[in-house]
């Protein structure tokens, strides 16, 4: 089948890596297809304020969705954790690619002593960089002495600021570092028992227009069923809690022997309180598991922590 497809992507090195992987896979599976990448700037790319000030929902996806809706692109490639849980009615997630390591990574400066390569071993009153309320709240709960300093910019910029000693450590997504060939900068992968990942972390989503069957078919084979079902449960949890990627909400699902386990967490922004629980069930109950866990967390006070 001969297709001409335009992929919409943000312009960061990581976003382009993801878009190029999607393009290469489509061209491998559909050799007659012609696929090009269109770079689109999003609100999150052009503003330097903390993400909590410019709005967490859709700051990295809104302009890509607008380009999809007006036909400038045929598919948008997103980091799934950036994509709001409620999409425009005309759009759909056509595929979720196989997930990379979903854990957060502790990264120390190039001159740092790797004897400190864990959250619990960081020196007292260390300055740690992150722009994520989810990471900050969980870090504060573990280490109230830590000073948290806002950190923006692409991966290279964040690592440069770290190596210039503006921070003693930074917390980044393991997946992004691995995809950019920077796995050697991971000082320690943070266990999910210490820091639960963001909903969808490590997964790449492909968004298309509903009714565009040709594009849907072209990207359908990129879908990873295990990642998909885990992310359905995670996103259902986040949707029921009414949260975006910047609120102190975490969710992570795993699949073992056809049993789906979903862990979820809601924290006070200062880490003073954390509500965490988990549910398990069959694969075909992924959506309802998310709603079930949200109800459990709310019954334990999560809504008050979210300021409702």
Known catalytic residues are 82
Strand ranges, E, within 84-189: 91-96, 104-108, 127-129, 147-149, 169-173, 188-189
Do 259 and 282 meet the contact criterion of CB atoms below 8 Å apart?
yes
What length is written for the chain? 308
Q: How far is CA 35 from CA 7, 16, 273, in A?
A: 7, 14, 48
**Nearest to 60, CA basis, from 207, 192, 187:** 207
DSSP alpha helix (H) spans, 193-255:
213-220, 225-241
Of 34, 31, 131, 25, nearest to 77 by C-alpha is 25
Q: In what order do the strands lie in the sheet with 4-9?
A: 34-39, 4-9, 75-79, 204-209, 91-96
How far is it, in rounded angstroms, from Cα 86 to Cα 307?
21
Which tokens hold the place of 286?
A: 């992924």
Quote the distance between the C-alpha of residue 288 and its chain's center: 21
- Six-digit token pair at 192? 């999910």
DSSP-derived 3-state class of residue 187: coil
What three-state secondary structure class fits 146? Answer: coil
CA distance 226 to 208: 21
């Amino acid at each position: 089948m001969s297709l001409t497809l335009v992929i919409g992507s943000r312009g960061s090195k990581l976003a382009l890596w993801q878009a190029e992987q999607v393009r290469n896979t489509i061209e491998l599976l559909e050799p007659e297809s012609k696929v090009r990448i269109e770079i689109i700037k999003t609100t999150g790319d052009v503003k330097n304020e903390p993400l909590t000030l410019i709005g967490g929902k859709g700051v990295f996806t809104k302009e890509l969705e607008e380009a999809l809706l007006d036909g400038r692109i045929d598919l948008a490639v997103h980091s799934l954790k950036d994509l709001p849980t409620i999409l425009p009615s005309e759009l759909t997630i056509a595929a979720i690619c196989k997930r990379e390591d979903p854990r957060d990574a502790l990264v120390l400066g190039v001159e740092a002593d790797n004897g400190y390569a864990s959250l619990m071993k960081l020196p007292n009153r260390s300055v740690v960089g992150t722009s994520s309320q989810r990471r900050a709240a969980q870090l504060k709960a573990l280490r109230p002495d830590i000073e948290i300093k806002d950190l923006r910019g692409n991966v290279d910029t964040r690592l440069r600021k770290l190596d210039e000693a503006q921070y003693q450590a930074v917390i980044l997504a393991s997946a992004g570092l691995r995809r950019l060939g920077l796995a050697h900068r991971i000082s320690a992968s943070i266990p999910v028992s210490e820091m639960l990942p963001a909903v969808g972390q490590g997964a790449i989503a492909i968004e298309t227009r509903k009714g565009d069957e040709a594009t849907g078919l072209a990207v359908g084979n990129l879908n990873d069923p295990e990642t998909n079902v885990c992310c359905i449960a995670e996103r259902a949890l986040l949707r029921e809690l009414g949260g975006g990627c910047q609120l102190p909400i975490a969710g992570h699902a795993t699949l073992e022997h056809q049993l789906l386990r979903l862990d979820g967490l809601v924290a006070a922004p200062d880490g003073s309180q954390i509500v965490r629980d988990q549910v398990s069930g069959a694969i075909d109950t992924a959506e309802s598991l998310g709603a079930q866990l949200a109800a459990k967390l709310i019954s334990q006070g999560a809504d008050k922590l979210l300021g409702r």
